Amino acid sequence: MSKKKKQENVEKVYRKKLIKRRKPNRSIVGDIFLYLFLAFIALVMAFPIIYAVSCALKPLDELFKFPPRILPQNPTFDNFSDLFVTMGKSWVSFSRYLFNTVFITFVGTAGHLLIASMGAFVLAKYDFPGGKGFFKLVTVAMMFTGYVTQIPNYLILNRLGWIDSYWAIIVPAFASPMGLFLMKQFMEGLPTSLIEAAKIDGANEWKVFRSIVMPNVKPAWMTLIIFSVQGLWNNKAATYIYSEEKKTLVYAMQQIQSGGIARTGQAAAVLVVLMLVPIAIFVFSESQILETMASSGLKD
């Protein structure tokens, strides 16, 4: 038998063993139990959203029933119509609150993604004095919540003259350590050989970053977008912004929620409106988050 045939036989035996090893050792009953368990977990995780939407569709008399019902008996959109009527009576229009929130969320997310990605690229693929120490500082910064850094942030922003402006929310979002940490961990798995090959072909640093690095870490920056949008969209900004015409939609909605028992239905509608954008972004980007990187199987 030739050496080539021996090698082919060895490969066939190895493949058979590998397939046999990968085959799950479960019965049909075990599969049914597994699917039922996963369905139960999915139902538990989806229940808060279902209940929130259900409450928003309930008339006021059903909201105070005891014991409470999960689904509305007489669903209605009156809570949403009343909400927009209440918002329309404000001396600052609903569209202005919406613009403030969208502007802060878009600019803050875009800047955070760009700065975190560029910083992570340098930390992950280049060795320079102080690089490891700087990343340790970033890791330590993740231990501190926003409540701890709120006073020094306020003092710095006040000295810069940014209090009562959009930049008081946007600029601190650029420096969030979570984004830098997440992007660096993904970029470390990117083979350096891809970057070196691009440089041999004449690509400069910016082209390598834009055309090689960012497409291969797409799951990371899509995940970063979700976290950033969620944080900025739900930011009341009450600590740094005082002018009513610069307030965010979340702040205005929460003022309606504090209106007492008569606005219980509107408060339920507020909750649904506020969670629509983060949920929609997650649904549309879910496939990108779960997508593996193109270079995940390569080794340096």
pLDDT at 176: 85
What is the tally of helices (H) and strands (E) in the chain?
A: 15, 0
Maximum alpha-carbon separation in the chain = 90
267-269-272 Cα angle (round to 5): 115
pTM of the model: 0.74
Which pLDDT belongs to residue 233? 86
Which tokens go with 108? 């803050």
CATH architecture of 85-290: Orthogonal Bundle (1.10)
Tens of pLDDT along 36-45? 999 999 888 8
Locate the DSSP E strands across the chain: none
**154 in Cβ contact with 171 (< 8 Å):** no
Residue 260's pLDDT is what? 67
Task: Label residue 297 by pLDDT band (50, 70, 90).
Answer: very low
Torsion of CA 218, 219, 225, 231, to 10 degrees: -160
Q: At what angle do helices 218-233 and 264-290 cross, to 10 degrees?
A: 170
Measured CA distances, 244 to 100, 165, 236, 280 (Å): 11, 11, 12, 28
Q: Work out the percent of the chain whose per-residue pLDDT is above 70.
A: 85
Q: Do you know the residue count of the chain?
A: 300
The alpha carbon of residue 53 and the mean position of all alpha carbons in its chain are separated, in whole angstroms, by 21
Looking at residue 103, its pLDDT comes to 92
State the average pLDDT over residues 253-258: 74
Q: Quote the CA–CA distance of 224 and 187 in Å, as a whole number.
A: 14
- Residue 241: CB atoms within 10 Å: 22
C-alpha 88/C-alpha 101 separation (Å) is 17
The predicted-structure confidence for 75-134, as pLDDT tens digits, reads as follows 888 888 888 777 777 777 778 888 888 899 999 999 999 999 998 888 888 888 888 888
Give me the residue spans of the domains in the chain. 3-81, 85-290
